[in-house]
């Protein structure tokens, strides 16, 4: 059996503009994304088996540990693009990134899975091929794989490096409030079609914040109390590069984060990686 431990960073959207709706139902965006030092950790082990088997576990009861999980889908995608012999794959997910929070928690875990498996199998895929797999699976995986400060387009899978700058990052999220990308983009489209308060859109650096903030009192409360704050992704997390958030009931707060110039990577501690697995 071979094993590896991978750290998977969250991301924030420094800007997010929705360009248009695509024929496939997704939206083209223009966004600057930045990875931060809030990490999930994946403990991945693989061993030869008579049949392919995927076993997921973790510390967060709110996420599924079956085929609905992007990590599970990443394992399937990885092996479906190889001629490797059947393997038993076990992945334990240490979840520290809040879910449905606009921080790419699911995407970064999926990118980390592809990255970790590629390391275990002696980098069977090139960096470009790994990015192609990421693009097939979701919108933010390429950002989490590459890391740093990136300008993104398309669905978010087209990335171009921007100048990296070190910032202190603070996060605040209403506890129990998760917002899906589908909800946020649907509400954005609806507002645009109905021409609802379109002029105020320019006030927001994140178009999805403009689309949903009026529907959630807790988001309006954050925006009113912390003038420098901005929603990341489809929410419900807000970040600030300028001021601390005050701990209070009903909100998760972390004022001790920084930007990082890397994406998913092998942990310095706890990694066990020797020779490539037999094919």
Of 5, 11, 173, 187, the catalytic one is: 11
Distance between CA 112 and CA 90 in Å, rounded? 14
Task: Reply yes or no on whether 5 is catalytic.
Answer: no
Contact 230, 206 (CB under 8 A): yes
Catalytic choice (40, 95, 109, 140): 140
User: Is the distance from CB of 98 to CB of 60 less than 8 angstroms?
Assistant: no
> Any alpha helices (H) in 19-157, and if so which ranges?
70-80, 105-120, 127-137, 141-146
Q: Is 227 marked active-site? A: no
Strands, E, within the chain: which ranges? 2-21, 27-48, 53-58, 87-94, 149-153, 158-161, 168-174, 230-231, 238-240, 251-258, 265-266
d(CA 20, CA 50): 47
CA–CA distance, 238 with 222 (Å, rounded to integer): 8
Give catalytic residue positions. 11, 140
């Amino acid at each position: 059996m071979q094993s590896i431990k991978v750290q998977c960073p969250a991301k924030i959207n420094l800007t997010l503009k929705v360009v248009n709706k695509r024929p496939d139902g997704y939206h083209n965006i223009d966004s600057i994304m930045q990875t931060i030092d809030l990490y999930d950790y994946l403990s991945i082990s693989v061993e030869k088996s008579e049949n392919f088997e995927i076993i997921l576990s973790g510390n967060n009861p709110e996420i599924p540990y079956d085929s609905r999980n992007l990590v599970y889908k990443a394992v399937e995608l990885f092996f479906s693009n190889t001629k490797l012999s059947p393997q038993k794959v076990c992945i334990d997910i240490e979840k520290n990134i809040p879910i449905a929070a606009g921080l790419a928690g699911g995407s970064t875990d999926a990118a980390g899975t592809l990255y970790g498996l590629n390391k275990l199998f002696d980098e069977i895929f090139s960096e470009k091929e790994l990015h192609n797999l990421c693009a097939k699976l979701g919108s933010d995986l390429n950002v989490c794989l590459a890391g740093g400060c990136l300008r993104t387009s398309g669905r978010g899978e087209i990335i171009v490096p921007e100048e990296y700058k070190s910032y202190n990052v603070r996060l605040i999220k209403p506890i129990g409030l998760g917002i899906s990308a589908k909800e946020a983009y649907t509400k954005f489209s609806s507002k645009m079609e109905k021409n609802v308060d379109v002029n105020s859109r320019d006030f927001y650096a994140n178009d999805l914040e403009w689309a949903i903030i009026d529907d959630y009192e807790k988001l309006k409360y954050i925006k009113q109390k912390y003038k420098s704050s901005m929603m990341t992704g489809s929410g419900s997390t807000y970040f600030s590069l300028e001021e601390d958030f005050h701990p209070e009931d009903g909100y998760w707060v972390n004022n001790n984060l920084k930007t990082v110039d890397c994406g998913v990577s092998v942990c310095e501690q706890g990694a066990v990686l020797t020779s490539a697995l037999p094919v």
